[in-house]
Structure 1
Amino acid sequence: MARQRVDEPIRTTIGEPHEEASADARPDRPTAGAPLLEVDDVTLRFGGVVALDGVSFTIGEGEIFGLIGPNGAGKTTCFNAMTGIYRPTSGEIRFGGQRVTGLRKHEITCMGVARTFQNIRLFPEMTALENVMVGADAHHRSSVLSALFRLPRYRREEAEGREKSLRLLEFVGIRHRAGHVARNLSYGEQRRLEIARALATDPKLLCLDEPAAGFNPAEKEELLQLIRDIRDTGVTVLLIEHDMRLVMGVTDRIVVLEFGKKIAEGTPAEVRDDPKVIAAYLGVPADAA
C-alpha cells in the first residue's frame, strides 16, 4: 500500500514547532479514551543507582503518547519495566486495569502490549514474511505435536498467519520485500519490518523505542504518517524518540523524564514552553531557560 507523505514541514526546535504540526493545532486530535496503561509511582534501582524515581503517568486508549528526555533520562528503562524486562523496585504498572508488575514478557505480550527496540532485533536469516509470521504465532493455539505432524489446525493457523503477515507488510509499505532475507533489507525497511512484526501480535498498545533513529528527513515524514495510520486502526501508541520535530508533530500528550524523574507532562505546546524541559535539553538552570 502506498504511504501518504506528510505535506507540512516540521520545525527543528523545541520552542518553535510548526503550528500545524502541533497536536494542539490539529483539528482531528482524538480525545483519549479510558486509561489503558497506568504507571503508578514506579521506582527502579540497580544497586545504588536510581534509574526511575517515583514515576507516574497514564496513557489513554487511542492516544499517541510521547516519552522523552535527554540521554540517560530513564526512557528505555521505563519501557523495559512496562514490558516485563525489568521488575520495578516499588510501585505498580497496570494494563487495562490489570496488574502487570512481575509478569513475564510473553504474558504481557499476550495481554496486548508489543514493542520495538532501540537496536533492531530481527531474525536476519529469515525472510521478511517469516519474521512477521513469528509475531503472528503469539496467539496461535496449536501444540508442538500438531506442528510436528502438520495437523489441520496447525495448517489453518499457518495459512491465516501468512495472510495476516502479508497484509501487515503491505500496511508498512514493504510487501514487495516479503521474500527477501531480513539482513538484505535497507535500514529503513528493517525498521518497518520490526513494526510489522510487533503489530502481528495484535497489540492494544504499541511501544516504539526510537523508531526514527538513523532515518533521513523524508523517511521521518513517512514514519510520522505511519504512526498516525497505526493509531487510526485502533492501536494506542507509546513513542520514545529524540527527534523533537517528530514528537511535537505526532503526539497528543508527552511526559518528560530527567535523571529518572518526571519533570513535565502535558500537550506538546505545554511541554515545549515548560522552562524545566528547556533547561533539561539545553543544560542550563530552569530560571535561566
Structure 2
Amino acid sequence: MPEATVAAQPGVREGAALLSVDDVSIQFGGLKALDGVSFDVRQGEILSLIGPNGAGKTTCFNVMTGVYQPTSGEVRFAGQPLGRRKRFAITRLGIARTFQNIRLFGNMTALENVLVGADAHHRTNILDALVRSPRHRREEREGEETAREVMEFLGLEKRADELARNLSYGDQRRLEIARAMATRPKLLCLDEPAAGFNPAEKEQLMELIRRIRDRGLTVLLIEHDMSLVMGVSDRVAVLEFGRKIAEGLPAEVRNDPAVIAAYLGTDADDEGES
C-alpha cells in the first residue's frame, strides 16, 4: 500500500496542525456534550484524547468524522473547514476511524471487509460496473492490491478468506483497523482499540500503533488504558464534562492536579496542595 504522506495535503508540513478543533461546542437538548473544546493534531504524531466516562471523547470523534455537526466552532483538516461535508467526503479527504464497538460485516470475508474501505476512492459508477469498463476493472484490481497489502501489514493475510464473524476478537479488532487504513487516510482515529485486550495484546497494539505512525499516518487515539496511553502517545489532551482541562506531554498530563482530580474524584486545589 502506498504510504500516506503529507505531500497530498497542500500547506501541511511535518509537525504542523493536520486537524484543528477550534472552540467546538455541541448541544443535545439541554445537555452540552462539548463546551468550547480546542486542540490540534499535528502531522506525524500520536495524540491521545482521554477523560473519564462521559467526558465527551467519542462525541468529539463523531464531530470530526461528520457523524454530528457542531452547534458552534469549527473543525479544519489540512486547513480546510469540514463544514457540513458528508461522511464519505470526509473519508476521501483523508480521515478514517474505527469504533469502540466493532462494526464489521460478519457474513463477508475479511478481505471483502477491507475492500469496502479500499472502495472509498473509487470513481466508477453503476454503468461502469455493469459493463465492466476498463476503469472499473483497474479500480477493482488496485483496490484488491491495497486491501491485501494492508492485511499483510496487520498480520491478517492468512485470514483473508475467512468470514469476519469467525475471526478471534483480536483479529476482528485488527480487521477494523485494516478497513480504515485501506481508505488511505492521512489521519487515523482509533476509538478504544485496546478494549477487551489482555496485557500481551496491548503490548502488540502499542507496537502496531507506532508502526502505523512510522508509515506516515497521524494517529488520534481514544483509550481508557493509561499504561497504553502513556506508553505510546507523543501528546495527550484531557476532557472532563465536555471541556478540555489539560494538554501536553504524557508526563505533564499524568502529574496535572486537574487530571488527577478528574480521575480520582478529588478536589484539584487540595490535590495541588498535597
Give the TM-score taking structure 1 as reference length.
Answer: 0.88
Percent identity reads: 70
Could you say which residue in structure 2 is the equivalent of 1:38? 20
Q: Within the alignment, does 1:232 sit opposite 2:214 as a pair? A: yes
2:104 equivalent among 122, 133, 140 = 122
1:129-188 Cα shifts (integer Å, max 9, x gaps): 000011000111112111122222211211111111111111111111000000000111
Could you say which residue in structure 2 is the equivalent of 1:275? 257
Q: Which has the higher helix share?
A: 2
The residue type equivalent to 1:268 in the other structure is P
SS at match of 1:194: helix
Instruction: Please tell me whether the aligned partners of residues 43 and 55 of structure 1 are also in contact (alpha carbons under 8 angstroms).
Output: yes
Could you say which residue in structure 1 is the equivalent of 2:167? 185
2:122 equivalent among 140, 161, 170 = 140
Give the distance between the partners of 1:80 and 1:32, measured in 2 at CA: 26
Q: Which moved more, 1:152-161 or 1:35-44?
A: 152-161
Give the distance between the partners of 2:101 and 2:140, measured in 1 at CA: 29
The residue type equivalent to 1:130 in the other structure is E
Instruction: Please tell me whether the aligned partners of residues 118 and 211 of structure 1 are also in contact (alpha carbons under 8 angstroms).
Output: yes
Give the distance between the partners of 2:133 and 2:70, measured in 1 at CA: 42
Instruction: Please tell me whether the aligned partners of residues 43 and 91 of structure 1 are also in contact (alpha carbons under 8 angstroms).
Output: yes
Could you say which residue in structure 2 is the equivalent of 1:70? 52
The residue type equivalent to 2:162 in the other structure is H
Instruction: Please tell me whether the aligned partners of residues 114 and 205 of structure 1 are also in contact (alpha carbons under 8 angstroms).
Output: yes
Give the distance between the partners of 1:152 and 1:92, measured in 2 at CA: 41
The residue type equivalent to 2:201 in the other structure is E
Could you say which residue in structure 1 is the equivalent of 2:43? 61
CA displacement at 1:32 relative to structure 2: 5.9
Please identify runs of 4+ aligned residues in structure 1 that moved more than 4 A: none
1:103-123 Cα shifts (integer Å, max 9, x gaps): 111111110000000101111
Could you say which residue in structure 1 is the equivalent of 2:179? 197
Instruction: Please tell me whether the aligned partners of residues 53 and 260 of structure 1 are also in contact (alpha carbons under 8 angstroms).
Output: yes
> CA RMSD, aligned part only?
1.0
Aligned residue pair count: 259
Instruction: Please tell me whether the aligned partners of residues 32 and 63 of structure 1 are also in contact (alpha carbons under 8 angstroms).
Output: no
Give the distance between the partners of 1:172 and 1:121, measured in 2 at CA: 18
1:14-47 Cα shifts (integer Å, max 9, x gaps): xxxxxxxxxxxxxxxxx96111000000010001
Give the distance between the partners of 1:132 and 1:72, measured in 2 at CA: 31
Give the distance between the partners of 1:35 and 1:277, measured in 2 at CA: 24
CA displacement at 1:238 relative to structure 2: 0.1
Give the TM-score taking structure 2 as reference length.
Answer: 0.93
Instruction: Give the gaps of 5 or more residues in structure 1.
Output: 1-30
Give the distance between the partners of 2:83 and 2:229, measured in 1 at CA: 28
Give the distance between the partners of 2:145 and 2:81, measured in 1 at CA: 33
Could you say which residue in structure 2 is the equivalent of 1:96? 78
Could you say which residue in structure 2 is the equivalent of 1:263? 245
SS at match of 1:288: helix
Instruction: Give the gaps of 5 or more residues in structure 2.
Output: 1-12
The residue type equivalent to 1:248 in the other structure is M
Instruction: Please tell me whether the aligned partners of residues 206 and 235 of structure 1 are also in contact (alpha carbons under 8 angstroms).
Output: yes
SS at match of 2:270: coil
SS at match of 1:80: helix
Give the distance between the partners of 1:44 and 1:116, measured in 2 at CA: 21
The residue type equivalent to 1:65 in the other structure is L
Give the distance between the partners of 1:80 and 1:168, measured in 2 at CA: 25
Could you say which residue in structure 1 is the equivalent of 2:225? 243
